Amino acid sequence: MEQSVIYSVDDRNIATVTLNRAEKHNAFNDEMIIELTRLFKKAGEDENVRALILRAEGKSFSAGADLNWMKKMASYTEAQNESDAFALATMLQTLYKMPKPTIARVQGAAFGGAVGLIACCDIAIGSKLSKFCLSEVKIGLIPATISPYVVEAMGARVCRRYFQTAEVFSARRARRLGLLSESVTEDELDSTIDDIVSNILKNGPQAVAKAKDLVQWVSTQEINDALLTKTSKLIAQVRTSDEGQEGLSAFLEKRSASWVEVQNDK
């Protein structure tokens, strides 16, 4: 039986999670959600992995929820539906909180929950021909579990519109609204992502993880004396860490840092 999700790690220590239900437009179901959660945890806990790319086979990134899965949910009790939804919420949070850079590679359609997957990633590169839709209200539902990440990515005012209208919007608009980091031709998707990965690999792995955590934390804080004290302590800890000392020494000595040399040897 063909795997619905494929996991691989290349010689640069870049993990790739591939949605592999092209014939179903990579629509996900409860089994796929469990597997994605497992693989996101695996990548996050692997000390060797430097970044994760989330991609999909076929014409579509993902059509959102699988039809057969939705049929099952329709017969669930409210308690069963809550448990089912919590599994999806857990998967999304696992991706969002992963202590590694995450990059979504988006082509074709990205509807419903797929928009949530994209919003959970730190960086999203989409084909100029890709299309997006928060389609839940079309069938009398709401984008509840994906909402924290989509609202963060696109903003509350924008989400008020698209959560209620379920309009299809273009890659160009998705870029303007903040869902996509860049929109490029389909032929440029991989090379653009390779350039981003190359930049990530030049940086201290621990610093990258701490920088990601910093953004998520600082964005919820009030700018006051407590925040000034906390951020001052953070930079002091990083400067005196082994990686911070190596990075500063490499800069002053005009040489490559050890993590760059390791990558160049591969």
pLDDT at 266: 43
Q: What is the length of the chain?
A: 266
* Residue 262, pLDDT score: 52
CATH of 204-264, one of 1.10.12, 3.30.1660, 3.30.160, 2.60.120: 1.10.12
The pLDDT of 198-210, averaged and rounded, is 94
Pull the structure tokens for residue 254.
């005009």
User: Which pair of tokens denotes residue 236?
Assistant: 């002091």
Tell me how far apart the alpha carbons of residues 124 and 183 are, in angstroms, rounded to a whole number.
9
pLDDT for res 261:
59
DSSP reduced 3-state for 263: helix
The rounded distance, in Å, linking the Cα atoms of 266 and 255 is: 18
- The pLDDT of 157-186, averaged and rounded, is 97
Predicted TM-score of the model (pTM) = 0.93
pLDDT digits (tens, 9 = 90+) for 205-248: 999 999 999 999 999 999 999 999 999 999 999 989 999 898 89
Domain 5-199 coded CATH 3.90.226.10 = yes
Q: What is the mean pLDDT of residues 90-100?
A: 96
**Start-to-end Cα distance in the chain:** 34
What's the whole-number mean pLDDT along residues 85-91? 93
Q: Could you tell me which residue, 82 or 104, shows the higher pLDDT?
A: 104
The tokens of 112 are what?
């419903």
The token pair at 136 is 């839940």
**pLDDT category, 1, cuts 50, 70, 90?**
low
Query: What is the sign, positive or negative, of the torsion defined by CA atoms of 257, 188, 38, 102?
Result: positive
Q: Is the pLDDT of residue 96 over 90?
A: yes
Residue 114 parent element (H or E) = helix 113-120
Contact 21, 35 (CB under 8 A): no
Over residues 11-27, mean pLDDT: 95
Write down the domain spans for the chain: 5-199, 204-264
pLDDT-derived band of residue 75, with 50, 70 and 90 as boundaries? confident
